[in-house]
A and B are shown apart, each in its own frame.
Chain A
Amino acid sequence: MIKLHGVSKSYNKGAVKAVDNLSLSVKPGEIFGFLGPNGAGKTTTIKMMVGLLQSDSGTITINGYNIEQEPLKAKSSLSYVPDNPEVYEKLTGLEYLNFLADVYRVPARIRKERMERFLQLFEMTQAVGDLIQSYSHGMRQKIVLIGALLHEPEVFILDEPMVGLDPKSAHNLKEYMREHCNQGKTVFFSTHVLEVAEKLCDRIGIIRRGQLIACGTMAELKQQAQNEGSLEKIFLELTEV
């Protein structure tokens, strides 16, 4: 479902290597957690996966489509939720959702049913008629999430999705992620909340200085780190210089 092969990206004409020869794959039906310290290259990797940044080398395939060679097909299969919910403040929530449904070509009947479901799930029904500029950070995060779910993507990519969400919405999102994967779809998300990653993810990848230093199920990570402790302990041990 997601395949990265030898992906590299550097800034300042090669002076800073943000992502260094990264390869990983995520299978259908899998929730993949992407961890790493600040500045490790998580957001850069995600931005390359969704077409916001061009990689210097390597290939990225989403649902069988190369993001650079068949960008529209790849983008039609994925949904992206950024770490900072920057959306059109001058649209109402409803207008924003309709706009996304239009660009993802979601038919009228289906979009209505899905909007109702997700608005209810994230308790946004009452606020959807207001301008987004009046939303709190968490509400913006929720409207971006709902917009991303409208076309029920094959691949759901989220950058720090829990930040700003209230406990109930965070719980609902986790439930939805599991349900989504049970249908054979894929979730890829970055997070700093290690407990969430430990409980929710089928597999976890840890990146440091642009390189994938560990990848696998919790059991495999424990084996790689030769540490029977929690994910937090493993993470700290692996990312220590």
Chain B
Amino acid sequence: MNLLTLIKMQLNVSFNWSALKWYAKHDKKKILGGIALVIIVIASLAPLYYFVAVNFFKTVFLSGYSLGQPEFVLTFAIVSVSMLVLIFAIPFIMAIFYFSRDLALLVPLPFWPREIIGAKFITVVIQEYLTVLPFMLPALYFYGTGVRAGLYFWLVGALITLILPIIPLTIISAAILVLMRVTNLGKRKDLLRYLGMTLFLVAVLAFNYFVTQLETLSQEEIMKLIFAREGLASLVSRAYPPALWATRALTAQGAAALLNLALFVALTLVGIMIMLFLGDRLFYRGLIGGDEVTARKDISSDRLAKGMSQVSAPAWAIAKREIKVLVRTPIYFFNSIGVILIAPLAMFLPLIWGNALEPILTMLSAVRPLYLNLGAAASIALVAAFAPAASTSFSREGKQFWLSQVMPVAPREQINGKIIYSLLLSLLGIPLVFLASVLLFHWNIQELILISLVGICLTLPSITVSLLIDLLRPYLTWPNPQVAIKQNLNAVFAMVATGGLYYLTYQFAMYMMHRQFSDLLIYGGVAAFALLLAAIPYGIMVRIADQRFREIIAP
């Protein structure tokens, strides 16, 4: 009974049920605004999802179907979604199990550790459906309608979709429970978080490597697989064997189907049991280690004197504060700086592993330098645009926002500090361009300077529009930093708005090229256009900042 209460409470807190009910009763405007926002997000992402993901699954189904292997789309979706859950849930599980603020409240209550772990695990599973459904629904739909499947298929399909994220989540949970206890690094919470993130990075690259190895099979091997029964499905499920059981549970006949379903469900249950067993034995010990405080190190008088004499202008002090907090909070670090560094690696490494670089370089050598240079400048901006550093800048202040409100620094100057910090982060993309120059494109120094300058100008619209969005609706009441940056709709809105601004910039560049302006004029024009686009959200921010700083209620 207690366990049910705990689960209910965890679900309530995770999905803000009570708050939603309260607003529905007392502040209808707010709830309607929230619903409208969700609709806007879905509406802005739906076309992209339809054209990219749905059509992709249709193509996968048709390709498999034409080879007599229609089930391939199911295995492909199950493997993809399981790998995604496996990779992306690592920091999530770490944050929910070990760094939630409610743990200080829950641990002294009369619950077994397995009950706390179990209740938190259920909330994670439910949140993972956001990853599972976009993959499984089109795969089930195309297969089910394509082979005219019966009721059994749809029922088992629903069951498998519901339990699909559990196996990868139990694997991660068990690994994290063991890691927290065995390595005994609990007192260094941040080190652990970085370790988790490194695991995440290794998993991403391993996944990439796996995918590229699939592409580099010899012609003979590919032919063999194409014509073998369940050949493609067996190949893809090598990365995640339970996927084959799930596929067979959906596609086989009679007892074979039931046997495979039983295997898949049994493995899911075993995963849960192992996790709960480990939870009972390891959770509290790892957790209590996390609350131990390290011995204080005395600060030397020299360091103290030096530290006390460092003076900065307020805007620069704010930029420094933002950078320090970002770098020292692993979740923030990984999601902003990590993205800037990992995204290009994740793009390049598969090309190198897959021996695909050479043909691409040959193709690019025929491209007009102007296009290539503008593309490189755009990549600096795009990489920065994917990092939610600016779009969650106000939100990340959370309960500390009161400091920004009481300090005698004009909101405009505080915004300037945040722009400086965001710009400094985006400069991290420039060394990557230099690296690409050394390894691939061999740009001369003038070109490198030009690319960097245009790149910096192009990052500014993304920074100012992202800050504006976050200033308009800062999310300050987050329970842990993971939520502040990963479950913050402002990051999605900022990406959509940035996409719009970059589309306008692209159209402007195309117009200039069409009118056959000189290359230099085009570079200058694109940079000036970007600065103009950046100035608009900046101007709005400056106009509303004083009022917004007064209106926002710090939690």
In chain B, what residue has the closest Cβ to A90? Answer: B328
Map CB proximity to B onto A15-39 as digits: 1 under 8 Å, 0 otherwise. Answer: 0000000000000000000000000
Taking a contact as CB atoms under 8 Å apart, the answer to whether A54 and B551 are in contact is yes
Decide: A129 near B297, CB < 8 A? Known: A52-B402, A99-B317.
yes
Cβ of B444 under 8 Å from chain A: no
A116–B299 alpha-carbon span in the complex (Å)? 13
Taking a contact as CB atoms under 8 Å apart, the answer to whether A129 and B402 are in contact is no
Stretch at the interface among A120-128, A179-187, A189-197: A120-128
Q: Which of A101-135 contact B (CB under 8 A)?
A: 101-105, 107-108, 111-112, 115-116, 125-131, 134
Please give, as numbers and ranges, the residues of chain B lying within 8 Å of A94 by CB-CB distance. Answer: 299, 304, 307-308
Taking a contact as CB atoms under 8 Å apart, the answer to whether B314 and A103 are in contact is yes
A87–B298 alpha-carbon span in the complex (Å)? 22
Taking a contact as CB atoms under 8 Å apart, the answer to whether A103 and B304 are in contact is no
Please give, as numbers and ranges, the residues of chain B lying within 8 Å of A88 by CB-CB distance. Answer: 321, 325, 400, 403
Stretch at the interface among B66-74, B404-412, B454-462: B404-412
A213–B190 alpha-carbon span in the complex (Å)? 50
For chain A, the count of residues having a C-beta within 8 Å of the partner chain is 46
A112–B406 alpha-carbon span in the complex (Å)? 23
Cβ of B229 under 8 Å from chain A: no
Taking a contact as CB atoms under 8 Å apart, the answer to whether B299 and A126 are in contact is yes
Chain B: minimal CB distance from A43 (Å): 12
Chain B: minimal CB distance from A97 (Å): 8
In chain A, what residue has the closest Cβ to B318? Answer: A103
Cβ of B312 under 8 Å from chain A: yes
A128–B298 alpha-carbon span in the complex (Å)? 9
Cβ of B19 under 8 Å from chain A: no
A102–B294 alpha-carbon span in the complex (Å)? 30
Please give, as numbers and ranges, the residues of chain B lying within 8 Å of A68 by CB-CB distance. Answer: 550
Out of B298, B311, B400, which one reaches A86, CB within 8 Å? Answer: B400
Taking a contact as CB atoms under 8 Å apart, the answer to whether B325 and A111 are in contact is no
Taking a contact as CB atoms under 8 Å apart, the answer to whether A90 and B325 are in contact is yes
For chain B, the count of residues having a C-beta within 8 Å of the partner chain is 42
In chain A, what residue has the closest Cβ to B324? Answer: A91
Stretch at the interface among A74-82, A202-210, A215-223, A224-232: A74-82
Please give, as numbers and ranges, the residues of chain B lying within 8 Å of A116 by CB-CB distance. Answer: 308
Decide: A126 near B311, CB < 8 A? Known: A71-B546, A94-B304.
no
Taking a contact as CB atoms under 8 Å apart, the answer to whether A52 and B551 are in contact is no
Cβ of B329 under 8 Å from chain A: yes
In chain B, what residue has the closest Cβ to A102? Answer: B317
Interface centre among A54, A76, A129 (most CB of B within 10 A): A129
Please give, as numbers and ranges, the residues of chain A lying within 8 Å of B551 by CB-CB distance. Answer: 54
In chain A, what residue has the closest Cβ to B417? Answer: A103
Please give, as numbers and ranges, the residues of chain B lying within 8 Å of A71 by CB-CB distance. Answer: 546, 550
**Would you call the interface of chain B mostly helix, strand, loop, or mixed?**
helix
A107–B329 alpha-carbon span in the complex (Å)? 30
Out of B299, B309, B316, B399, which one reaches A112, CB within 8 Å? Answer: B309
Out of A52, A105, A108, which one reaches B554, CB within 8 Å? Answer: A52
A78–B406 alpha-carbon span in the complex (Å)? 9
Cβ of B368 under 8 Å from chain A: no
Taking a contact as CB atoms under 8 Å apart, the answer to whether A102 and B298 are in contact is no
Taking a contact as CB atoms under 8 Å apart, the answer to whether A72 and B402 are in contact is no
Cβ of B26 under 8 Å from chain A: yes
Q: Which of B308-351 contact A (CB under 8 A)?
A: 308-314, 316-318, 320-321, 324-325, 328-329
Cβ of A50 under 8 Å from chain B: yes
Chain A: minimal CB distance from B432 (Å): 26
Taking a contact as CB atoms under 8 Å apart, the answer to whether B313 and A131 are in contact is no
Cβ of A236 under 8 Å from chain B: no
Please give, as numbers and ranges, the residues of chain B lying within 8 Å of A73 by CB-CB distance. Answer: 408
Taking a contact as CB atoms under 8 Å apart, the answer to whether B304 and A75 are in contact is no
Taking a contact as CB atoms under 8 Å apart, the answer to whether B400 and A108 are in contact is no
A125–B482 alpha-carbon span in the complex (Å)? 33
Map CB proximity to A onto B527-546 as digits: 1 under 8 Å, 0 otherwise. Answer: 00000000000000000001
Out of B317, B324, B325, B553, which one reaches A103, CB within 8 Å? Answer: B317
Q: Which of B282-301 contact A (CB under 8 A)?
A: 293-294, 296-299
19 intermolecular pairs with C-beta atoms under 8 Å apart: A51-B405, A52-B405, A52-B553, A71-B550, A75-B406, A76-B408, A86-B399, A87-B400, A91-B321, A100-B407, A103-B318, A103-B408, A104-B408, A107-B311, A111-B309, A112-B305, A112-B309, A128-B299, A129-B299
**Residues on B close to A: CB < 8 A?**
26, 293-294, 296-299, 303-305, 307-314, 316-318, 320-321, 324-325, 328-329, 399-400, 402-403, 405-410, 546, 550-551, 553-554
Known: A12-B26, A90-B324, A102-B314. 8 other contacts (CB 8 A): A51-B406, A72-B408, A75-B407, A91-B325, A91-B328, A108-B310, A112-B308, A115-B308
